[in-house]
């Protein structure tokens, strides 16, 4: 009887030990995954900062670059041709289209 009771306690303790080991292994895996995610986030942040610095340098170089001469503007007395699909009167897009077409010509 005592032997059976001791064997049952040993079996229960072995099950508990197995459960605790599994929980510890799962916690270790989560910790490892968290470390990997943290490292990946650091690397991504470093890459994004480098990209930002590169773009900043490009914009600085563009600002420092000599500007080309402005393109000649159409004379105000020359009216741009009206397209066949003119906007209805009072449509602000029609005026904008005329200005864009004049600029492109």
pLDDT tens for 36-75 read 999 999 999 999 999 999 999 998 888 887 777 666 666 6
Q: State the pLDDT at residue 8.
A: 96
Encode pLDDT of 8-27 as tens digits.
999 999 999 999 999 999 99
On whether the pTM is more than 0.75, the answer is: no
Whole-number pLDDT of residue 74: 62
Q: Is the pLDDT of residue 89 over 70?
A: no
Residues 40, 33: Cα–Cα separation, whole Å: 10
Measure Cα distances from 16 to 9, 11, 50, 67, 90 in Å.
10, 9, 51, 77, 83
């Amino acid at each position: 009887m005592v032997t059976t009771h001791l064997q049952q306690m040993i079996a229960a303790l072995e099950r508990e030990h197995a459960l605790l080991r599994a929980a510890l292994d799962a916690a270790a895996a989560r910790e490892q995954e968290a470390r990997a995610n943290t490292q990946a986030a650091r690397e991504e942040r470093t890459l994004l900062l480098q990209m930002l610095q590169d773009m900043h340098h490009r914009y600085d170089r563009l600002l420092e670059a000599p500007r080309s001469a402005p393109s000649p503007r159409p004379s105000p007395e020359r009216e741009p041709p009206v397209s066949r699909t003119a906007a209805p009167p009072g449509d602000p897009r029609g005026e904008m289209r005329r200005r864009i077409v004049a600029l492109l010509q």
